[in-house]
Amino acid sequence: MSRHPPPHDRGQASVEWIALVALVALVLGAAAALTYGGLGRGVAWAIRHGLCEVGGGRCPRRPADLADLPACPLRRSSRSQDFDVKVAFIKLGGGLGVQEVTKSDGSVTVTFTNSGGGGGVAGIGASFQVGHLQAGVGATAEAAVKFTAGRSWTFANRAAADGFVKRYGGDQDLGTHIINDARRTICFFCAALGWAPRKQPPADVTYTEGGLRLALGAHATMGWGAGLQAALTGAIGHSDERASGRRTAYLRLGGEASGEWFSAFGLGAVARATGIAALTFDRHDHPVALRLELVTSHAVTYQALPEGAGRLAKDMHGSGDLQEVEVDLDLADPASHAAAQAFLRGRLTGGPAAIAGRGADFARFVNEHGTTTVRTFASRDGHGGLGATLALGAEVGGGLSHSSQHLRLTGVYTRLPGLGFLPRADCLVR
C-alpha cells in the first residue's frame, strides 16, 4: 500500500491545513491584539462575522470604529486623615484624603477628597478588673451620614503628578488645612504679602456624594480578648468631566465584616464587598455608557510592634487581595442602546420572583453587548490613631486616625462581546 495520498487528496489536505493554520493565526492574532495593543471592536466583529458566515445564521452588523481598550490601573495608593468628636450619643467628624492611580500608559490621576458628617452612637456592656485579671463584654451601634467632595487631575507622567502633589498636597494634611482655612477666612492681607495658600487649578473631574453608614459591633475581653463588627454603607453621587462635559450618576452599596482575636497583638481579618452602578450622560443629556462593578477584598490584619516605650498610637497593618469585576455597556452604539432599552422594558416587570429569575437572561445580554474586565490586586493596608474619652455623666471624647492602602495589579482579563476572556499582558509586561 502506498504511503502517499492520491494527488487530489493531497490537494484537499493542503487546503484543510491552510484553513486550519489561518484559523489558528486568526485566533492568535486576536489574542495578541488584545494582549498587546487592545482589541478593537472591529476585530471582534470580524471574528464573529467570519464564524457566522461559515456556520450560517444571522451575522452582526459592523460597529462604528472605537478606540482600543483603556489603560489599566497598575498601582493605586491612598492615604487619609480623619477626626471625630463625641458628646454623649452624638458623633461628628470629617477627614481629608489623597488618592493616586498610575496607569499602564504612564499617566497618573491624583484625587483630593474632603469629607464630613455625623450621627448617633450607643452602646451597652460591662467590665471589671481585679489585679491583672480583667474581663468585659459589650456591644455598640452607630448610624451616621457622610458627605464627600472630590477633585481629580490627570497628568501625563509620574514626575508631573509628584510636582503637583508637592505643590498642592500639603492642604490635605489636617493641621495644614486648619491653618490654611484660617489664612483664607481671617487674614485679609495674606494675599498681598504672598502668604495666602496656593489656589489649585481647575480639576479635570469633580464629584460629590452623600451616604448612610450603619454599623454594629461586639467585643469580649477575657485574657487575650476578641471582637466582631459589621457595617453596611450606601451612597449616591455624581461626577462631572470638565473637558468632555460628561456627567455620571452612580449608586454604591457596600458591606464589611471584621473580626479580631488575640487583641494584644491585634490579629484579625476583614472582608469587604461593594457594588456600583453608574450611568454616564453626554453634554446633551443622552446616556452613553452604563458601568456595573463588583469589588471584593479580604485581608489579614495585625498590630505593628512598638518602636519605643513612648509610642501613643496603635498602628495596624494588613495584607490581602482585592478583585474588581467591571461590566461596561456602550450606550452610544445605537444597536446596544436599543438592546438595552428593550431588555429593561421587558425585564423590570412582574413580581420579585420573576425579576430574580432573570439573572441568566441578564448574563446573556451582557455577554452579547457588554465588555467585561476582571482585575486582581495585591493589597497592603495600614491604620492607626489615638484618642481619649472623659465620662462625667455623659461621655465626651475625640480622636485622630490615619489610614493608607497600596494596591498592585497582579492580573487583568477582558472579554469583548461574544468572545472569551483574554489576558491583557500590555498592562503587566514592562
84 and 61 fall within a common domain: no
Residue 355: per-residue pLDDT: 55
Residue where a domain stops, chosen among 68, 100, 117: 68
User: In which domain, by residue range, is 7 found?
Assistant: 1-68
37 and 106 fall within a common domain: no
243 and 267 fall within a common domain: yes
pLDDT string in tens for the chain (430-residue length): 444 545 445 455 555 555 655 555 555 555 555 544 444 444 555 555 555 655 555 565 555 444 467 889 999 999 999 988 888 788 888 999 999 999 998 999 999 999 999 888 877 766 555 544 556 677 778 899 999 999 999 999 999 999 999 999 888 888 888 777 777 666 666 655 556 667 889 999 999 999 998 888 776 666 566 778 889 999 999 999 999 999 999 999 999 988 877 665 668 888 999 999 999 999 998 899 989 999 999 998 887 655 444 444 567 788 999 999 999 988 887 877 777 776 666 555 555 565 555 556 677 777 778 889 999 999 998 887 776 666 555 667 778 888 899 999 999 998 887 777 888 877 765 5
* Other Cβ atoms closer than 10 A to 384: 18
Residue where a domain stops, chosen among 68, 89, 113: 68
159 and 63 fall within a common domain: no
Residue 152: per-residue pLDDT: 97
Residue where a domain stops, chosen among 68, 90, 115: 68
* Other Cβ atoms closer than 10 A to 324: 19
163 and 211 fall within a common domain: yes
Give the DSSP letter of residue 349: -
Residue 97: per-residue pLDDT: 94
42 and 121 fall within a common domain: no
Q: Diameter of the chain by CA atoms?
A: 106
Enter the C-alpha cell of residue 180: 490654611
Residues 183-219 as b/e (b if ≥16 CB within 10 A, e otherwise) read eeeeeeeeeeeeeebeeeeebbbbbebebebebebeb
Residue 78: per-residue pLDDT: 94
381 and 414 fall within a common domain: yes
51 and 184 fall within a common domain: no
50 and 106 fall within a common domain: no
Contact assessment for residue 328 and residue 290, using Cβ atoms and an 8 Å cutoff: yes
Q: Chain centroid to CA 273: how far?
A: 10
Contact assessment for residue 91 and residue 85, using Cβ atoms and an 8 Å cutoff: yes
Contact assessment for residue 116 and residue 85, using Cβ atoms and an 8 Å cutoff: no
380 and 253 fall within a common domain: yes
- Which amino acid does the sequence have at 355? I
Count of domains observed in the chain: 2
314 and 361 fall within a common domain: yes
Taking the model in full, what pTM does it have? 0.78
- Which amino acid does the sequence have at 129? Q
List Cβ neighbours of 83 (8 Å cut-off, separation of 6 or more).
93, 94, 95, 174, 398, 399, 400, 401
32 and 138 fall within a common domain: no
